[in-house]
Amino acid sequence: MAPAAMRTAAQSLSGAKPVSYWLDDPAKPDALDALTGDEHTDLLVVGGGYSGLWTALIAKERDPERDVVLIEGHEVGWAASGRNGGFCAASLTHGLANGVERWPDEIAKLEELGERNLDAIEAAVARYSIDCEFERTGEIDVATEPHQLEELREWHEEIVKLGITGVDFLDRDALRAEVDSPTFLGGLWDRRGVAMLHPAKLAWGLKRACQELGVRIYEHTRGFDLVRSGEGMAVRTPYGRVFARRVALGTNIFPSLVKRVRPYTVPVYDYALMTEPLTPEQLESIGWKGRQGLGDSANQFHYFRLSADNRILWGGYDAIYPYGGRLSADLDQRPETFLKLAEQFFTCFPQLSGLNFTHAWGGAIDTCARFTAFFGTAYQGRVAYAAGFTGLGVGSTRFGADVMLDLLTGEETERTRLEMVRSKPMPFPPEPFAWAGIEITKRSLAHADSNGGHRNLWLKTMDKLGLGFDS
């Protein structure tokens, strides 16, 4: 980074708050009391992020008489659900390409289920009057290097052959007419498959909707031991216990109460910045009248979008795996990454020189080796779990909630018949092999980005094995 660019980037960060912009909002609801004593319920949901909230909500929608309790170790929406970019995608497979590669025979059904799932999220937002700034704007995958442009062009031809509509190829001029950056060479616009929203307000709105349907929610109530109890299960909490006929685990990146599930995910820390609101003149300089979400096509990619008040969220690029899978609030801040992101932002949008960032934050994503959620049951079907959403959980967690509830009934459904649901990714190896493998993969991906997209022997081997690393 040139000294002048470094100074500009550093100055833009001087007043940034070390907290998620989404969580730094006066709309944040008061915390609920912790559980004290014993509770008895039909269904216990562990985890107050999207996964747990959708599970509790849908459980009551399916059967209003079902008694449901949700426990959350901190506060609803405080982890990944309140720190992500707010990209709510229809894809259940971490993008169409990943789905075609892994489940070619099911991809039509997976795409259909994903579209229905996103429609159901939009309908729930309206039905429960959740003010989460939902905008069905779509997303543009952007090429910033010639090899990326060629890959996008070829992929668009494949999409057409698959009979999928609503995805348009944009050349340089067409893309820059939508959003103007000198780095943009072209892109693919998925016009309906992604919505933008305020992620924390979605979580808070789901919390309110759950309560209105009768779900009892306890915050600052971490679940510890999971054991059999008669015909059901029991979970110990700091000040009590919950006895339940069935349990749904939506803990995602946090250690699963089913220990055998833990090797399937690793935490990846992702980082983001939020600018101050753009003036009308600044907004005019970049266009962006369609308010689409954007992501570049590099392996080390950026994602960026406009907020409701015309700030730009700019995140991604660095994906940091802490040795041993350590989870710590200290890792939510990484100044060297924030500096890098700021410099890259002004490279993308030089016309916004002088703009400042108001917030800088990070958080952990539950990553698995196939990039898509996996599912299962334990304790003779009394417990269900979903994990491994790998950064696309804003939308797919609702689908995962449906799957967990299906599994707990023991009935076969169109969801539980899917190979994606019946199979699991490869587990990550123990340390030091996990850290070494991830580091080699990250360096190989960075090399590919700077070498015309050429994938070395390590990446080609990982591709053949169906393994990967992503945020």
Q: pLDDT tens-digit profile of 429-440?
A: 999 989 998 999
Rounded distance between C-alpha atoms, residue 330 and residue 106, angstroms: 41
**pLDDT of 471 strictly over 60:** no
Give the pLDDT mean for 128-154.
97
Residues 6 or more apart whose Cβ sits within 8 Å of residue 337: 271, 317, 318, 320, 362
Rounded distance between C-alpha atoms, residue 11 and residue 4, angstroms: 11
Residue of 306, 279, 315, 305 lying closest to 391 (CA atoms): 315
User: What percent of the chain clears pLDDT 90, i.e. is strictly above it?
Assistant: 90
Residue type, 56: A
Strands (E) across 47-125 are located at: 68-71, 87-89
From the CA atom positions of the chain, what is the Rg in Å? 22
Q: Are 234 and 175 within 8 A, CB to CB?
A: no
Q: pLDDT tens-digit profile of 47-80?
A: 999 999 999 999 999 999 999 999 999 999 999 9
Residue of 66, 57, 195 lying closest to 138 (CA atoms): 195
Distance of CA 444 to the CA centre of its chain: 24
The band of 451, judged by pLDDT with boundaries at 50, 70 and 90, is confident
Question: What pLDDT sits at residue 195?
Answer: 98
Rounded distance between C-alpha atoms, residue 297 and residue 295, angstroms: 7
The band of 2, judged by pLDDT with boundaries at 50, 70 and 90, is low
**pLDDT of 99 strictly over 60:** yes
